[in-house]
Structure 1
């Protein structure tokens, strides 16, 4: 069970999302606009000050064009 958002498995998942955003050439502000959120929201997620809800995670992945399942496999492999 994830007991803290700074757990290394969650950190690996967030880094994966950050890399996907950067690979698409999106800034935090551009990505925030894409998902209709504030740049502060995205910044807090990326600095692990705020955890993503599962529905937000799926929305993130869809906006980045990555598979949510791929991220969950990464999360699972980090045990």
Structure 2
């Protein structure tokens, strides 16, 4: 089994989150504030240094106003 953090599908899903953040004109700082976490934590997720668990992923999606199911479909 491939480790999640190195999976191309996982990287594509994170890229999708980044693209949605940027499309909304939201900075890493603004996303971090919306999530109640540090900018470093968001940066580590976006640079694939830290893996999101399911709960965190859903929180990211809600902060970005996107459907979590859309990103999960990328993993199939």
TM range, smaller chain: over 0.9
**What are the within-5 Å matches in structure 2 for residues 1-79 of structure 1?**
1-76=1-76
In the superposition, the TM-score normalised over structure 1's length comes to 0.91
Q: Which runs of at least 4 in structure 1 moved beyond 3 Å after TM superposition?
A: none
How many residue pairs get aligned? The number is: 76
Give the alignment's Cα RMSD to 1 decimal: 1.1
> Whole-Å Cα distance in 1 between the matches of residues 75 and 50 of structure 2?
17
Quote how far apart the aligned CAs of 1:4 are. 3.8
Contact 2:34 2:63 in 1 (8 A): yes
In the superposition, the TM-score normalised over structure 2's length comes to 0.94
> Whole-Å Cα distance in 1 between the matches of residues 31 and 2 of structure 2?
26
CA offset digits 1:17-61 (Å, max 9, x no partner)? 000100110111111011111000000000000000100000000
**Partner SS state of residue 75, structure 1:** coil
Contact 2:4 2:51 in 1 (8 A): no
Instruction: Give ranges in structure 1 of 5+ residues lacking alignment.
Output: none
